[in-house]
Amino acid sequence: MTAETENEIEKLRELITRARVVLWDFDGPICSLFSGHSADRVATELVEWLESRGLHGLVTEDERESLDPHVVLRAVDRRHPGSDLVAELEERLTQEELRAAASAMPTAYADPLIRTWTAVGSRLAIATNNSPRVVRKYLTSRGLVSCFTPHIYGRTQDLHHLKPDPHCLNRALNAMGAAPSAALMIGDTPSDFLAARSAGVPFLGYARNKRKEKLLREAGATSVVNSLAPVRSVILGQA
C-alpha cells in the first residue's frame, strides 16, 4: 500500500468514524437512474412540451443545450415561480423519473454498503433533487427502503430549494436531531458538495470516472472515492 493510499484510507476512516448520520444523494451514489432511459431525451421532451404550448421563449439556447431536466425545470421556475406551469412540468419530470426507476442500474457496492451501515447502527437519509416518490419506488424494489424510512427528502415544488441549496440536508438533520458535524453527505456532483458545505456537513464525493472526480475536486471536495467498496471495508474493519 502506498503512503498516498494509506493517507486516503486514513481520511476516509476519519470521515466515516465521525458520522452518526449519513445523508445520501440518490442518482449516482445509489443508482444510475437514467441508465436505461436517457436524461437527455427527458430534457428534450420537456422543452418540446413547452414549445408545443407556445412557450419556447422560457428556456434559453444554453439551457436547452444543457440536456439536463433540472436545468430546464429551474429555468422555467425562475421566470414563472410557483406557477401551475412549473407544477405541471415538475410532475412530468416525476413521471419520467418513475419510468426510469424501473430500469435504473444499481451502483456497485451501494446495496451492501447501505445494509452494512444500517447494521452497525448508523442512521441513513436521502437528500436528493429527484422526486421522493421515485426514490421510494427504487429502494422498495431493492428491499432497502426500511434502511431510510422515513428520512427521504427530495424535490418539492419549491424548486429554488434544489441543491446546491442545503434545504433537503437541513430537513434531514432537523428531523433526525443530528448536528451537521455528526453527519456525512455522500454525493457525486458539485451541487452536492456545495449544499453540504452550506449546511456544515462533511462531504465524501463518489465519482464513477475521472471526469466526475475532476468536477468534484474543482468545486473544492477533498475526499473522493471511485468505488464504494473501500467505504464498506472501513466500516467492516471498525465494526
CB atoms within 10 A of CB 103: 12
For Mg ion, the closer of residues 23 and 58 by Cβ is: 23
Q: Per-residue x/- marks for Mg ion, 199-218, CB under 5 A?
A: --------------------
> What CA–CA distance (Å, rounded) separates 146 from 135?
12
Q: Does 97 bind Mg ion (CB under 5 A)?
A: no
Per rule CB under 5 A, count of chain residues that contact Mg ion: 4
- Minimum CB separation of residue 239 from Mg ion in Å reads 27
Stretch that binds Mg ion, among 18-26, 88-96, 152-160, 175-183 (CB under 5 A): 18-26
Residue 54 backbone class (left: φ over 0; alpha: ψ -120 to 50; beta: rest): left
Q: Quick one: 31 or 178, whose CB is closer to Mg ion? A: 31
Q: Is position 111 an interface residue for Mg ion (rule: CB under 5 A)?
A: no
* Position 69 contacts Mg ion (CB under 5 A): no
Residue 224: strand, helix, or coil: strand
Q: Which stretch binds Mg ion (CB under 5 A): 55-63, 69-77, 159-167, 184-192?
A: 184-192
Residue 188 binding Mg ion, by CB under 5 A: yes
Alpha-carbon span 111 to 120, nearest angstrom: 15
d(CA 140, CA 119): 18
- The residue nearest Mg ion at its CB is 28
Around Cβ 41, how many Cβ atoms within 10 Å?
Answer: 13
Using DSSP's 3-state secondary structure scheme, residue 225 falls into: strand
Choose the stretch contacting Mg ion; rule: CB under 5 A; options: 17-25, 93-101, 174-182, 217-225: 17-25
Q: Contact, 196 vs 186, CB < 8 A? A: no
The grid cell for 55 is: 412557450
Amino acid at 5: T
In whole angstroms, the minimum distance from the beta carbon of 68 to Mg ion comes to 11
Q: Residue 28, interface with Mg ion (CB under 5 A)?
A: yes
Summarize as ranges the residues that interact with Mg ion (CB under 5 A).
25, 27-28, 188
